[in-house]
Amino acid sequence: MSDIIQLLPDHVANQIAAGEVVQRPASVVKELLENAIDAHSDHIKLIIKEAGKTLIQVIDNGVGMSVTDARLSFERHATSKIRAAEDLFEINTKGFRGEALASIAAIAHVELKTKQENAEVGTEIKIEGSEVISQEVCVTPKGTSISVKNLFYNIPARRNFLKSNAVELRHIIDEFHRVVMAHPSIRFDMYHNGSEVFNLPSSNQRQRIVNIFGGKTNEKLVPIKEETDLVAIGGFVGKPEYAKRSRGEQFFFVNDRFIKSGYLNHAVNAAFEGLLKDKAHPSYFIYLKVDPKSIDINIHPTKTEIKFEDEHALYAMLRSTIKHSLGQFNVAPVLDFNRDSSMDTPYEYKSKIAQAPTIEVDRDFNPFKEEKKSVSGSSSSGKNYSSFKKESAGSWENLYVGLESEMTTPKSTENEFSSVEFESTEATGSLFEAEDKKVGHHTTYQLRKKYIVTTIKSGMVIINQNRAHQRILYEELLKNITMASAVSQQLLFPLTLSFSKKEVALLETVKEQLENTGFVFGELSVGEIEIKAIPSVVSEKEVSVLFEQLLSDLENEVPDTGFSQTDALARSIAKSIAIRTGVDLAPEQQQYMANSLFACTEPTVTPDNKPTFITLTVDEIDKKF
């Protein structure tokens, strides 16, 4: 029998490796930016066209490469970062596998220009699908410029799996944030389709965060800092009142490398225990410095997961550090027995003698003799003391004079109050009373402020008030969006909400649909949006919660343009403003809810396909007995 196992050609092996390294244009951006940082650059430019599908270019002013290095950089497992297996346990650079450029060159058109500082000319290499097209001398500034064009041109199936430009651009911005936040000392510029997206000068950690997420982020940050033999913790956490429903602003960095860790995230949430609203997530930007030998980076292809040597100790330190900072900055209550310097005696008071307080007392004052003195007009002293007047106890009968006569003449009281009108129960009950008498009174009952119980011919119906209201609002909003017939209520003072550039760009994709629901927008600037009018079904205090929920839903579902985006928008708004469990409803509101639900086209389920009500027939009730 002939042999059937054979070695794969290099270009096939590179394409297989590319499946792990390059999932979408954002993966290319991450690898190229990390290479530029490892080249000791202090100014890096990222140029994107068509969300990276047409062009991804990274230009740096780093050390550059020689002719031999430039050619070897595209070979598999060729790297300058490690030499021996022991180096894997002491990694201080971003990349180290030597697969990134080889994988990218296997599925795209790559053009590399590089020059070292002391060299007179640079090197230009062009590669298409792992095949070197040309290598020649060129004139280029110090550093490296690498362009990746037509990503996945030779794997059309992978290219068809890419999302819309707006979605892919959001993934690129996410990767860009993760890199630039770890290196605030480096200047970064980002351009998309010729327009500037980010211009981040060299700064400190706090200023870099503010430059990315907007100026109002500064007031939300609480600094944290702790140094131990095991770990050095630094960075910032967001104040509890600014917690969001989405997890967008949560960043962990270990030795300037972005990581994802559910275990450490749980430590942060534990520190915020009792301070957050339900389903709210705190913002945090936490930088950890540990010994490279105590972590293992090489456990995941994207290097976003790290194995720690002593996770339990790290968990406890992180939790206590955050709790201490929240208490220190008066964000959370804390028991602190340390001496407060503000309570210390000033130096200039050291030689002063304390003065005894003086109290003036009228020693001739007698409350029992005051009445006689006031009558006679005599005064025991010439000082201006306020006289104490005691009412005579003998005149208590005067308080009840005329009471007996009033009790014996009730008619005068009736005449006196005959013109007073009471408008308590009569006014509220008369709104539906006439109609109920004509049609027949439909009784409803609210159970535990969660369910509405009403009767039907076959038995009884138990309605979940939150889910039912979601269905009612969803169909109303969907009708308004598609027919553009919503009613708006003008705001006396426009609302201004702060968002990051990515969130504002996301809201711009659904701006037209939001306007059809009843929102009227003013200026959509870089970090905030202005709202001049809101839909009639939305209250002013619900607007910020509504937009947070909307952004969370749009980021998680990532809908493209079309009906699916409109549907997601209607579902998100309905979920945000629907009546919650625990809200007490009047009988008229209960009846209106039941009638509106059964008037819907699909009353049985919510927009998320959860049941809105259950029925109990008389036969089922009889079986219970």
**Rounded CA separation 611/590 (Å):** 18
Please tell me the predicted confidence (pLDDT) of residue 523: 76
**Rounded CA separation 471/571 (Å):** 9
Q: For the residues 175-194, what does the mean pLDDT come to?
A: 93
Please tell me the predicted confidence (pLDDT) of residue 95: 63
* Residue 453: strand, helix, or coil: strand
Give the CATH class of 208-328.
Answer: alpha beta
414-434 pLDDT per residue, tens: 555 455 555 544 444 444 444
- Bridge-based pairing state of the strands 43-49 and 187-192: parallel
The domain defined by 10-200 folds into Heat Shock Protein 90 (3.30.565)
Locus of tokens 């307080």: 357
pLDDT band at 124; cut points 50, 70, 90: very high
Work out the end-to-end distance of the chain between its first and last CA atoms, rounded to an integer number of angstroms.
77
For the chain, what percent of residues have pLDDT higher than 90?
26
Please list the residues that pair with 113 across neighbouring strands: 124, 145
Please tell me the predicted confidence (pLDDT) of residue 374: 46
Amino acid letter, 570: A
User: Which of 125-129, 278-282, 373-377, 585-589 ranks highest by mean pLDDT?
Assistant: 125-129
Reduced 3-state DSSP string for 119-186:
CCCEEEEEEECCEEEEEEEECCCCEEEEEEECCCCCCHHHHHCCCCHHHHHHHHHHHHHHHHHHCCCC
Q: For the residues 346-371, what does the mean pLDDT come to?
A: 75
- Mean pLDDT rounded to a whole number for the chain: 80
Least confident of 108-122, 186-200, 571-585: 571-585
Sign of CA dihedral 208, 211, 217, 219: positive
Q: Which two tokens stand for residue 568?
A: 């997601």
* Residue 107: strand, helix, or coil: coil
Least confident of 133-137, 231-235, 376-380, 588-592: 376-380
The domain defined by 451-614 folds into Ribosomal Protein S8; Chain: A, domain 1 (3.30.1370)
Q: For the residues 562-577, what does the mean pLDDT come to?
A: 76
Please tell me the predicted confidence (pLDDT) of residue 526: 66
183, 62 in Cβ contact below 8 A? no
Query: Domain residue spans in the chain?
Result: 10-200, 208-328, 451-614
253, 306 in Cβ contact below 8 A? no
**Rounded CA separation 304/251 (Å):** 11
Locus of tokens 């209960």: 590
**Residue predicted with more confidence, 21 or 381:** 21
Torsion of CA 216, 219, 220, 222, to 10 degrees: 150
Least confident of 374-378, 586-590, 611-615: 374-378
364-398 pLDDT per residue, tens: 888 777 555 444 444 444 444 444 455 555 556 66
* Residue 61, pLDDT above cutoff 70: yes
pTM over the 0.75 mark: no
462-508 pLDDT per residue, tens: 999 999 999 998 888 888 777 766 778 888 888 888 877 777 877 88
* Residue 122, pLDDT above cutoff 70: yes
**Residue predicted with more confidence, 149 or 480:** 149
Q: For the residues 235-251, what does the mean pLDDT come to?
A: 86
Least confident of 122-136, 355-369, 575-589: 355-369
* Residue 610, pLDDT above cutoff 60: yes
Kind and range of the H or E element at 269?
helix 262-271
Q: Which two tokens stand for residue 497?
A: 């909400």
Please tell me the predicted confidence (pLDDT) of residue 190: 94
Least confident of 125-134, 135-144, 488-497: 488-497
Pick from 144, 43, 147, 28: which is nearest to 95 by CA?
28
pLDDT band at 98; cut points 50, 70, 90: low
140, 114 in Cβ contact below 8 A? yes
**Rounded CA separation 614/460 (Å):** 9
Q: For the residues 165-182, what does the mean pLDDT come to?
A: 90
pLDDT band at 440; cut points 50, 70, 90: very low
Q: For the residues 85-103, what does the mean pLDDT come to?
A: 69
